């Protein structure tokens, strides 16, 4: 077997209201399929030097809010040619208020770099995911599929520069969220590419997961274990292709 050059990567897996341990382990298994990849695992964005040295960054977070210097470092990482596989709640900031769950705009540089910020989602229920770019190697041959995940309703940054890969349709209410009325929009991105400078972000909103003890302090015990798209073979194929893209193989 041909010797390959070592590739440094950073995985940030942390945050609230999700089974981060499950997601971290699954992502490490997938990263482990590439023996040349050496992964530094973090719970925040504080080690900006490690991120700057990495070839690519993978994130699975919820309500992890980088400081302004960290946001600037992340933007610089991408602009200089870095590739960032951003998953599920990476673009989320959540405040529980008497009026519902709010999405404060507290990290504008991060949202601009990612191309979006999570605002709300309707109750978890099955929905159809459609391939927007059937000839793109990241999604070619995947085909339309159904999943029961959080359907992300997002605010986009430079929407015209995003390359849609997967989409879905929804028009209605996002009950429990401050910004609940989504009756005037229908098309929502599920997976997209966001070019920025010499690099790019690949964002996939799928992948919600939650176990019994992940909603503290909201509740001490959540009755249902949720794995959502993690139970779909299409999701794992998308993740594998995403890592190949991060390595420059797609």
**pLDDT digit string, tens, across residues 180-237:** 999 998 999 999 999 999 999 999 999 999 999 999 999 999 999 999 999 999 999 9
In 161-209, which residue ranges form alpha helices assigned H by DSSP?
A: none
pLDDT of residue 232: 98
- Is the model's pLDDT at 118 over the cut of 80? yes
Q: What number of other Cβ atoms are within 10 A of residue 160's Cβ?
A: 5
pLDDT of residue 1: 61
Q: How, if at all, do strands 163-169 and 83-87 pair?
A: unpaired
- Is the model's pLDDT at 141 over the cut of 70? yes
- Report the mean per-residue pLDDT for the chain: 97
Query: Which tens digits make up the pLDDT trace of 49-99?
Result: 999 999 999 999 999 999 999 999 999 999 999 999 999 999 999 999 999
Q: Where are the domains of the chain?
A: 7-119+190-246
- Cα 75 to Cα 72: distance, rounded to the nearest angstrom: 5
Q: What number of other Cβ atoms are within 10 A of residue 177's Cβ?
A: 20
Question: pLDDT band at residue 109, thresholds of 50, 70 and 90?
Answer: very high
pLDDT of residue 3: 85
CATH architecture designation of domain 7-119+190-246: 3-Layer(aba) Sandwich (3.40)
- Cα 167 to Cα 66: distance, rounded to the nearest angstrom: 28
């Amino acid at each position: 077997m041909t010797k390959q050059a070592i590739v440094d990567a950073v995985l940030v897996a942390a945050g609230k209201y999700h089974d981060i341990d499950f997601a971290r382990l699954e992502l490490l298994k997938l990263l482990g399929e590439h023996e040349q990849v050496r992964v530094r695992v973090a719970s925040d964005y504080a080690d900006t030097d490690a991120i700057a040295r990495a070839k690519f960054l993978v994130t699975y977070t919820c309500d992890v809010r980088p400081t302004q210097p960290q946001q600037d470092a992340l933007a610089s990482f991408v602009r200089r040619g870095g590739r960032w596989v951003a998953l599920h709640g990476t673009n989320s900031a959540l405040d529980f208020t008497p009026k519902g769950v709010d999405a404060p705009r507290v990290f504008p540089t991060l949202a601009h770099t990612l191309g979006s910020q999570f605002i709300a989602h309707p109750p978890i229920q099955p929905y159809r995911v459609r391939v927007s770019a059937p000839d793109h190697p990241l999604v070619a041959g995947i085909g339309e599929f159904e999943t029961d995940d959080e359907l992300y309703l997002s605010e986009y940054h430079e929407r015209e520069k995003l390359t849609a890969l997967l989409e879905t349709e929804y028009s209605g209410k996002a009950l429990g969220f401050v910004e609940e009325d989504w009756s005037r929009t229908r098309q929502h991105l599920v997976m997209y590419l966001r070019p920025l400078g010499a690099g790019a972000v690949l964002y996939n909103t799928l992948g919600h997961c939650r176990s019994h003890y992940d909603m503290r302090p909201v509740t001490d015990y959540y009755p249902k274990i949720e794995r959502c798209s993690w139970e779909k073979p299409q999701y794992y194929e998308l993740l594998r292709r995403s890592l190949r893209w991060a390595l420059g193989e797609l």
